[in-house]
Amino acid sequence: MQDALTIAGKSYQSRLLVGTGKYRDFQQTADALDASGCEIVTVAIRRVNLGQTAGEPNLLDFLPKNRYTLLPNTAGCYSADDAVRTLRLARELLDDHRLVKLEVLGDPNNLYPNMRETLKAAETLVKEGFDVMVYTSDDPIAARELEQIGCCAIMPLASLIGSGMGILNPWNLQLIIEQAKVPVLVDAGVGTASDAAIGMELGCDGVLMNTAIAAAQDPVRMARAMKLAVEAGREAHLAGRMPRRFYSATPSSPLEGVISSRKG
């Protein structure tokens, strides 16, 4: 696989991870996931039915079998205990599934992560054998601690969940990327394709998003745009951007050998 994203020993071609909340219905969810080209799909275990609520539509019935790696997440959890309990349930529900997304929120208004509870939950989950992709603030110290605990991917927020404000602090993101030895994925707050591209250009290994696609006027079309943006951002990162010249022009064509009417 060329330029694969490897998480917890498994390689993926797509660097775009997509959430499953806020769509009109499961059919639209499935169509958007398909258009995004994503391979990892995150599901809020407390909100989306994967079989835990009998008699209700089950998302899994709308997704092609074995196409996606499911990433159960703990959206809606406000304590380490709650998050750990939710992911143990996911493991049972999904046949000893180990790859999970941990998010422990600290405030119902801004949905900012509670880092003390996140670190506590991460420690327990890693000890129990989960592969933990973790949602975090963009604090490089917290990110390093989560990596030291053994999380398999660090996922700093771009901005508040569902805000669509894009990357508020590229400088902190850069610090996290520079020090990390596991994949860093920007998670939450992406609003449009250019936000995803900027994250990838900065050197993120991937982008996780939900609202930007689900709340777009045309979610399927936006999913396609996000696929292209993540790919373009990755290519630009690998290509290495030209040095920035702060308000100082250089001509685009070479000056040597130019036939000029100017003397001297």
Only segment of 114-122, 141-149, 166-174, 186-194 that touches ligand DXP (CB under 6 A): 186-194
- Taking alpha carbons only, the member of 50, 48, 23 closest to residue 36 is 23
By CB under 6 A, residue 75 contacts ligand DXP: yes
Residue 194 DSSP SS3: helix
Structure tokens at 207: 């982008």
Using CB under 6 A, count the residues that bind ligand DXP.
18
* Interacting residues with ligand DXP between 213 and 242 (CB under 6 A): none
Distance separating alpha carbons of residues 110 and 92, to the nearest angstrom: 31
Q: Are the C-beta atoms of residues 52 and 89 closer than 8 Å to each other? A: yes
By CB under 6 A, residue 212 contacts ligand DXP: yes
Q: Are the C-beta atoms of residues 208 and 17 closer than 8 Å to each other? A: yes
By CB under 6 A, residue 167 contacts ligand DXP: no
Q: Exposure pattern of 100-116 as b/e (b: 16+ CB <10 Å)?
A: bbbbbbbeeeebebbbe
| Position with the least CB separation from ligand DXP | 19
Taking CB under 6 A as the criterion, the residue among 84, 149, 152, 190 binding ligand DXP is: 190
Give the residue ranges of the annotated binding site for 1-deoxy-D-xylulose 5-phosphate.
162, 188-189, 210-211
Site track for ligand DXP across 113-142, x = CB under 6 A? ----------------------x-------
By CB under 6 A, residue 17 contacts ligand DXP: no
| Residues near 131 by beta carbon (within 8 Å), at least 6 away in sequence | 7, 8, 98, 99, 100, 152
**187/205 with CB nearer ligand DXP:** 187
Residue 101 among the catalytic residues: yes
Active-site annotation holder among 22, 65, 101, 227: 101
Distance separating alpha carbons of residues 50 and 61, to the nearest angstrom: 9
- Applying CB under 6 A, the residues found at the interface with ligand DXP are 19, 21, 42, 73, 75, 101, 103, 135, 161-162, 187-190, 209-212
